[in-house]
Chains A and B, each alone.
Chain A
Amino acid sequence: MKKMLSILLAAAMVMSMLAGCGSSADDAAPAEESAPAESEAPAEETPAEEAEAPAEGATITVAAIETAYGSEMWQKVCEAFTAETGINVELITDKNLEDVIGPSMQAGEFPDVIHLATGREKALTETFIKDQNIVDITDVLSMTVPGESAVVGDKIAGGFTETSLTNPYGDGKTYLAPMFYSPCGLFYNAGLFEEKGWDVPTTWDEMWELGDKAKAEGISLFTYPTTGYFDSFFYALMYSVGGADFFDKATNYEEGIWETPEAQKCFDIIAKLAEYTEPTTPAQANDQDFTKNQQLVLDNKALFMPNGTWIVGEMAEAPRADGFAWGMTALPAVEAGGDGYSYTWFEQAWIPGGAEHQAEAKQFVAFLYSDAACAIFAEAGAIQPVLNIAETLEGDNQMFYAIYDNGAKAAMGNFAAYDGVVGVSNRDVWFEPINSLVSGNMTEQEWIDGIKAVNDQMRDNLVQ
């Protein structure tokens, strides 16, 4: 009896194992075959036929990150899109979008359009770029905007579709659509500067002088929300130290680039800035407490922080010092008479390789540049990179977006995409150690050595 029972149970286990294996094999096969096929084939075929005839009444899924601009604008834009084209939109917005769409994407179900910026901690966009899992949308640039006679490419402001952020593989093809641009720079309390009679520094030497002056009054020169904010800072710094040439070489990890005097200058400036940084900053430079660092500027405890124009909305409810007024300046020039740079930060919308309705998704991307959509976005403070939009801005935004008219040069681009290098990421190597520089747990040389140690690995794994 007992034997019989154990045989039966064993049989049950074996059976179920087989059943399990069987089903998983079934599941695995189509996923493995179809996903790459899907990502390649439609990307090449669609422009000819499908793009012209997106199915009316179809439903596409749009996943958009909810940022300081809120999610209501996405709701409105999707409604406007449906009204214009008859294509229904299922909208997903969330502050942690990666966590919401991640699991279903792992199961092989992809949204048709994803709006998500690079440079986020979870690096979802970077993952797709590294995997070459994004649909080529070069043809969208020559499509007409739904409901208008203008062509998408003519509406997008110059330069935006030529950066390594939109054309990650340097092959002249656009994979990511530029969205919501924001000049980044150093934000400060203009009211405090006026009150103390200080001038906003235009060179780093003036910056250090100001740092000493502020120190005497018990104010630190600098703070940063998290080290992630150093990417735009560092890009602009590279431009102002060595120009576009140095920037391109450095972001492509050229051999020996970090031993050049230009690189040393960049490192020296950040290391010196670390000495002037408000000492509590690293302890608060995490996703939970970063607003406390931003609050330091509002409370006049630190003068400058690197940030983007969304800061105004993000800290709108926060208490602040009397007479506080937002000010923003480009990164100071390295020498008197040199160029100050402001990094143009922008988000991206893209179509994942596994998207089901790619033709409709392209229509949607094109619609994002329509006058109607731009107006809805602008109402929430999100500024699309289309021509002549600066004229329609009001308030703080007018001042922020005029930064390039006031002499600052625009810096665009980012580190080139490389195939996942195990255990190493740009943020961990370049920017996270700044926390340790500020707290004194690491020397400048240790930081530089860490960068040099991985530079070659990244170059060897560049996505071609």
Chain B
Amino acid sequence: MKKRSGRNGFIFLCAAPAVILFTVFMIIPTINVFRMSLFKRSAYSTTEDFVGLDNFTRLLKDVNFIRSMQNTILLIVVVTIITFGFALVFAAILTREKIKGQNFFRIIFYIPNILSVVVISAIFSAIYDTNNGTLNSLLSLVSGKTVAILWKGEGMVMTSLIIAMIWQAIGYYMVMYMASMASIPQSLYESTSLDGAGRITQFFQITLPLIWTNIRTTLTFFIISTINMAFLFVKAMTSGGPNGASEVALSYMYKQAYTNSSYGFGMAIGALVFVFSFGLSALVNAVTKREPLEF
């Protein structure tokens, strides 16, 4: 018994720092966000008025917030689908096919992930320039007439953001899938090819099911990171403009909390986004649940 309590004491001591740090730096601030969302207050002042759920009722009537939420959902859906599609296909090609310069492609695809968002936004600022930009120049060359698409104009700005975000994310997920695809035994592919399965059948019948757990985990990661990355991209590339057309939930929250003296209102947005991303992750997790397959 004495030995046991000594061991438990040791476990307690080992676990305590992590539990304390987690509580102080994660749980309490999160609770605080929810608490502050019930007050009318500004960012740098300590005076606050309790307004109950007022911030939330205003939020649901705020057309700018609804638009920013729509943009966020658009980004989550479109960027996720396209990024995952491309990342999986590229990963399958690079692991399954014998291509010269495999490593070269792997590095090229991965590079955007090393660059900071600010650098990426500078690169895309040059690509999207209306008069001398790479994209418009290329399109002009192909079509034979002067193309002057306003990539960061009101109509195209979300498309431009989507392209930049996909470009940035593909490499990272591709490398992740390559790692798990490489561990699938070659014999499976050989035996199915003897049975007459083509590459596409192999991809859907062997590759995808066998890396499904990996896809599931990354999908949850990706959805949450898209919500965060969208804020960075919007901040660096468009400042939410023109006229709020590219505002996403978190950039709108930042704007309200820090530049419009509506910290409580901003926190209400934060609370809503928190619940939203939590719910979405849970939903994705539930929907993608499969019996894990083993080789």
A residues contacting B by CB (< 8 A) are 1, 4-5, 8-9, 11-13, 15-17, 19-21, 23-24, 31-32, 35-36, 98, 102, 105-106, 121-124, 126-128, 130-131, 133, 226-227, 279-280, 282-289, 292, 352, 419-425, 428, 432-436, 439, 441-442
Contacts and interface: CB of A to CB of B under 8 A. Distances in A.
Interface in B89-139: 121-122, 125, 128-131
Given A128-B44, A131-B45, A439-B153, A123 B65 contact: no
Given A12-B16, A20-B23, A420 B151 contact: no
B259 A279 contact: no
A40 to B, nearest CB: 11
Given A126-B261, A422-B260, 12 more contacts: A11-B12, A16-B19, A19-B24, A35-B45, A122-B258, A282-B243, A283-B130, A283-B152, A286-B239, A288-B239, A423-B58, A432-B244
B242 to A, nearest CB: 4
Contact of B152 (A24, A31, A279, A286): A286
A458 to B, nearest CB: 12
Contacts of B15: 9, 12
B12 A127 contact: no
Interface string B234-261: 0011110111100000000000101111
Interface string B174-206: 000000000000000000000000000000000
A426 to B, nearest CB: 10
A102 B12 CA distance: 38
Given A288-B236, A419-B261, A436-B242, A282 B153 contact: yes
Interface in B149-189: 150-155, 157
A13 B23 contact: yes
Nearest to A122: B259
Q: Which 4 interchain pairs have the tightest Cβ spacing?
A: A420-B261, A435-B242, A131-B45, A16-B20
Interface residues of B, number: 55
A5 B6 CA distance: 11
Interface string B54-80: 010010001011000000000000000
A280 B156 CA distance: 13
Contacts of B125: 288-289
Contacts of B16: 12, 15-16
A287 to B, nearest CB: 5
Contacts of A131: 42, 44-45, 47, 261
Interface string B1-44: 00011001001100110011001100110000000000010111
Contacts of B128: 283
Contact of A133 (B27, B44, B239): B44
Contacts of B11: 5, 8-9
A17 B45 CA distance: 27
A36 B238 CA distance: 37
Residue picked from A105, A292, A424, A428, most chain B C-beta under 10 Å: A428
A214 B125 CA distance: 28
Nearest to A1: B4
A435 B239 CA distance: 13
Contacts of A98: 258
A436 B259 contact: no
Contact of B154 (A5, A21, A428, A439): A439
B265 interface: yes
A31 B48 CA distance: 13
What is the interface of chain A mostly: helix, strand, loop, or mixed?
helix
Given A419-B261, A425-B259, A8 B20 contact: no
Nearest to B13: A12
Interface of B: 4-5, 8, 11-12, 15-16, 19-20, 23-24, 27-28, 40, 42-47, 55, 58, 62, 64-65, 121-122, 125, 128-131, 148, 150-155, 157, 236-239, 241-244, 256, 258-262, 265
B260 A439 contact: no
Residue picked from B55, B64, B242, most chain A C-beta under 10 Å: B242
A19 B151 CA distance: 52
Given A280-B130, A288-B239, A436 B262 contact: no
Contact of A32 (B40, B46, B62, B236): B46
B23 A280 contact: no
7 contacts: A16-B16, A24-B24, A31-B46, A280-B130, A292-B129, A420-B262, A422-B260
Contacts of B151: 283
A106 B44 contact: yes
A102 B152 contact: no
B28 A21 contact: yes
B106 to A, nearest CB: 30
B154 A435 contact: yes
Contact of B44 (A19, A127, A292): A127
A428 B244 contact: yes
A129 B154 CA distance: 33
Contacts of B244: 428, 432
A420 B125 CA distance: 33
A296 to B, nearest CB: 9
Nearest to B241: A286
A219 to B, nearest CB: 14
B243 A420 contact: no
B243 A436 contact: yes
Contact of A280 (B150, B154, B157): B150
